Amino acid sequence: MSLKITNSVEDKVAVLKIAGEVDMFSSPQARNAIMELVKQRVPRVVVELSGVSYMDSSGVATLIEGLQLCQKYNGTLVVAGLRDNVREVFELTRLDKIFQIYKDVDTAKVNE
């Protein structure tokens, strides 16, 4: 299954919505989308994942790389809208201690 990715930038906040399965085959597509936003040096990138039904380690690695690059440019990358199964991946890998996780995009946008 291919990913559906949309993005928007408003008031120094970029929102990247990803839908589908983020696995070793589709994660390069997600990575490219994240990197394009990060390279624009938007101060805050919100990755909205409510449409993601599955994420493997390559998807996790993509998010970590995006977070590290954002931090390099003094920005931040946060995630929002995790489904229970994707949240479990974050908890098992202890990424819930590294990423700021919000219930939805609106909450993520106002909690800078």
In a domain, 14, yes or no: yes
Q: What do you get for the CA distance between the two ends of the chain, in Å?
A: 33
In a domain, 64, yes or no: yes
| Full 3-state SS string of 19-82 | EEEECCCCHHHHHHHHHHHHHCCCCEEEEEEEEEEEECHHHHHHHHHHHHHHHHCCCEEEEECC
What pLDDT sits at residue 46?
A: 97
Domain hosting 69: range is 4-107
What pLDDT sits at residue 21?
A: 96
What pLDDT sits at residue 105?
A: 96
Tens digit of each residue's pLDDT (9 = 90 or more) over 36-73: 998 898 999 999 999 999 999 999 999 999 999 999 99
In a domain, 87, yes or no: yes
CATH assignment of the domain containing 15:
3.30.750.24
Task: Specify the number of domains making up the chain.
Answer: 1
In a domain, 48, yes or no: yes
pLDDT class of 110 with cuts at 50, 70, 90? confident
In a domain, 112, yes or no: no
Contact predicate 49/66, CB 8 Å: no
What pLDDT sits at residue 38?
A: 87
pTM of the model: 0.94
pLDDT class of 1 with cuts at 50, 70, 90? low
